[in-house]
Structure 1
Amino acid sequence: MKENAKITVSPKVWTPKQIEEAWELKQKLGTNAMYISGGTWVQLRWELGEAVPNHLIHLGRIEDLPKVKMSSDHSLNISAFASLAACRSSPDIHRYWPILAEAARNVGSPAVRNQGTIGGNIACGYGDLIPALLVLDAKITSFDGKQYITDELINFLNQNPSDKIITEIHLQKSANSSNKTFYKKIGRREAFTLSLLTIAGALLVNDKNEVEQARLAVGGGDMAPKRLLICEGQLKGKVLTEELCQRAHAQILQEFQPHTDRYTSSHYRKLIAANLLIAGLTDALY
Structure 2
Amino acid sequence: MFDIKEIKEPKSLDEALKVLDSNTKLKIISGGTDVLIKLHHGKFNDAELLSIKNLDTLRDIKVLEDNTISIGANVTFSDIFRSEVINNNIPILSEAAVSMGGPQIRNMATIGGNICNGAVSADSAPALFSLNAELKLKSLNNERIVKITEFYDGPGKVKIQRNEILTEILIKEENYKNKRGRYIKFANRKALDISMLGVALLYEIEDNSFKDLRISLGVASPTPIRCKNAENFAIGKGVTNEVINKVAELAKMDSNPRNSWRGSRDYRLHLISTLIKRILNDDLIKSEVK
Measured against the shorter chain, the TM-score band is 0.7 to 0.9
Q: What is the match of residue 89 of structure 1?
A: 82
**CA distance in 1 between partners of 2:173 and 2:152 (Å):** 22
CA distance in 2, matches of 1:50, 1:277: 39
What letter is aligned with 1:51? K
1:12 CA drift (Å): 3.0
Paired position in structure 2 for 1:224: 223
Structure 1 unmatched runs, 5+: 1-6
Residues 138-174 of structure 1 show CA distances to partners (whole Å, capped at 9, x for unaligned) of 1211114422222322123355136431101122345
Where in structure 2 are the equivalents of 1:20-59 lying within 5 Å?
20-26=14-20, 29-30=23-24, 33-45=26-38, 49=41, 51-52=43-44, 54-59=47-52
What percentage of residue pairs aligned between the two structures are identical? 26
Which residue of structure 1 lines up, in the alignment, with residue 145 of structure 2? 150
CA shift, 1:119, in A, is 0.8
Shift of 1:261: 1.7
Q: Which residue in 2 is equivalent to 1:234?
A: 233
CA separation in 2, counterparts of 1:275 and 1:162?
Answer: 38
Moved more, 182-191 or 169-178: 169-178
Query: Which blocks of at least 5 consecutive residues in structure 2 are unaligned?
Result: none
Give per-residue Cα distances to partners, 1:180-200, cap 9 Å, x unaligned: 201001124497653211110
1:78-117 matched pairs, under 5 angstroms:
78-117=71-110
Q: Distance in 2 between matches of 1:17 and 1:99?
A: 33
Deviating more after overlay: 36-45 vs 184-193 = 184-193
Give distance in 2, aligned partners of 1:38 and 1:160.
Answer: 21
Q: Secondary structure at the match of 1:249?
A: helix
1:102-161 deviation line (CA, Å, top 9, x unaligned): 111111111111111111111112221111111112121111442222232212335513
The answer to whether the Cα contact below 8 Å between 2:59 and 2:74 also exists between their aligned partners in 1 is no
2:70 aligned partner = 77
Specify whether residues 15 and 263 from structure 1 end up closer, same or farther in structure 2 by C-alpha distance, changes over 3 A only: same
Per the TM alignment, residue 52 of structure 1 is displaced from its structure 2 partner at its CA by: 3.0
Q: 1:4 corresponds to which residue?
A: none
Q: Which residue is 1:3 aligned to?
A: none
Equivalent residue runs for 1:200-215 within 5 Å: 200-207=200-207, 209-215=208-214
1:128 corresponds in structure 2 to 123
Q: Determine the C-alpha separation between the residues in 1 that align with 2:234 and 2:80.
A: 31
Contact 2:220 2:257 in 1 (8 A): no
Q: Per the alignment, in what secondary structure is the counterpart of residue 223 of structure 2?
A: strand
Question: What does residue 9 of structure 1 align with?
Answer: 3
Residue type of the alignment partner of 1:151: V
Aligned positions, number: 277
Distance 1:37 1:221, change over 3 A: farther
The CA deviation at 1:175 is 8.5
Partner of 1:272, secondary structure, is helix
Structure 2 partner of 1:140: 135
Q: Is the 8 A contact 2:221 2:257 kept in 1?
A: no
The answer to whether the 8 A contact 1:112-1:191 is kept is no
The 3-state SS of whatever aligns with 1:252 is: helix
Separation (CA, whole Å) in 2 of partners of 1:16 and 1:65:
13
Q: 2: distance between equivalents of 1:129 and 1:246?
A: 26
What SS does the aligned partner of 1:257 have? coil
CA RMSD of aligned residues (A): 2.7
CA change 1:41–1:149 in 2 (3 A) is same
Opposite residue 136 of structure 2, the aligned amino acid is: T
What is the deviation of 1:51?
Answer: 1.4
In 1, are the aligned partners of 2:3 and 2:44 still within 8 Å (CA)? no
Match of 1:186?
A: 186
> What SS does structure 2 have at the residue aligned with 1:40?
coil
Structure 1 residues 264 and 162: CA distance shift in structure 2, 3 A = farther
Aligned residue for 1:201, secondary structure, equals strand
Q: Measure the CA separation in 2 of the matches of 1:243 and 1:155.
A: 32
Task: Give, as a single letter, the amino acid of the residue that structure 2 aligns with 1:171.
Answer: I
How far apart are the structure 1 equivalents of 2:171 and 2:273? Answer: 26
Rounded to whole Å, the distance in 1 between the matches of 2:42 and 2:78 is 27
**TM-fit CA distance, 1:70:** 2.1
1:276 deviates by: 0.7
Q: Conserved in 2, the CA contact under 8 Å of 1:37 and 1:60?
A: yes
Q: Tell me the amino acid that sits aligned with residue 230 of structure 1.
A: N
2:159 partner amino acid: N
Distance, in Å, in 2 between the alignment partners of 1:240 and 1:18 is 50
Q: Which amino acid aligns with 1:203?
A: Y
